[in-house]
Amino acid sequence: NNAHAGIKITTHGSDWYWAVTAIMMVSTIVFAGMAYTKPRQHRIFHYITAAITMVASIAYFSMASGLGWTGIAVEFQRSDPKVFGLYREIFYVRYIDWVITTPLLLMDLLLTAGLPWPTIMYTILIDEIMIVTGLAGALVRTSYKWGYFAFGCMALAFIVYVLVWEARLHANAMGRDIGRTFLICGSWTALLWCLYPIAWGVSEGGNVIAPDSEAVFYGVLDVMAKPVFGALLIWGHRNIDPAALGL
């Protein structure tokens, strides 16, 4: 019977994770390679962005290999008393990726906006609270998980406020090219990041979609939020002098 059965990714899910691993690796090589076409003082955003996709490559390599997860008991079919002890695969390795890469993404953005160090530091602190509460909620089996989720959403609301308000105004005051680049990359980020709690809610949270669908949902978001974001950001910096940002 289904006792102690697992709800896990199939070979399709694994193939997709390998595809995203390849996208992240190629992006890393391209971003790092492009750094060497620039003078030393103009490489900071290439390095930060390449570090982001490099860390994601390792996380996706882990998930594609069927590693970096733990089983969390879920009530899958209440109507069928024979089904008990059903476990869903929760990839905790995502959160190890995010706790490193989301602060780097915020550095890319907030350095572009020219914000002072203290603002960058406390925004990153709130971001770490968001990721850690997401991990805690994912690993909790009872409905207390939604308490952690609520704390995480409050943290995200604060980050979105900094992006669409404080940082946007600061970037605009720094000039046209900086304002435009921040508007594109900041809006892209604010929009995409708001979709992560939805993916979480139907995966780790509510166990609504299958792990293969979870792979597609998070995978598409991660490709948009890292390689596509990185390309937009580096493109935007082609006419920005890092000295204008105090870098």
Chain positions contacting ligand RET, by CB under 6 A: 98, 101-102, 105, 130-131, 133-134, 149, 152-153, 156, 193, 196-197, 200, 222, 225-226
Question: 68: closest CA among 93, 87, 46?
Answer: 93
Q: How buried is 182 (Cβ within 10 angstroms: 0-12 exposed, 13-18 middle, 19+ buried)?
A: buried
Residue closer to ligand RET by CB (options 29, 198) is 198
What is d(CA 106, CA 61) in angstroms, rounded to the nearest whole number?
24
Distances (CA, A) of 203 to 63, 181, 209, 240: 15, 33, 6, 40
Closest to ligand RET by CB, 70 or 239: 70
| Position with the least CB separation from ligand RET | 134
Rounded to a whole number of angstroms, the minimum distance from the CB of residue 238 to ligand RET is 23
- CB nearer to ligand RET: give 83 or 231: 231
Alpha-carbon distance of 127 to 189, in angstroms, equals: 13
Which of 93, 131 has the CB closer to ligand RET? 131
CB of 86 to ligand RET, least distance (A): 22
Task: Compute the least distance from the CB of residue 23 to ligand RET, in Å.
Answer: 12
Using CA atoms, how far apart are residues 137 and 238, in angstroms rounded to an integer?
41
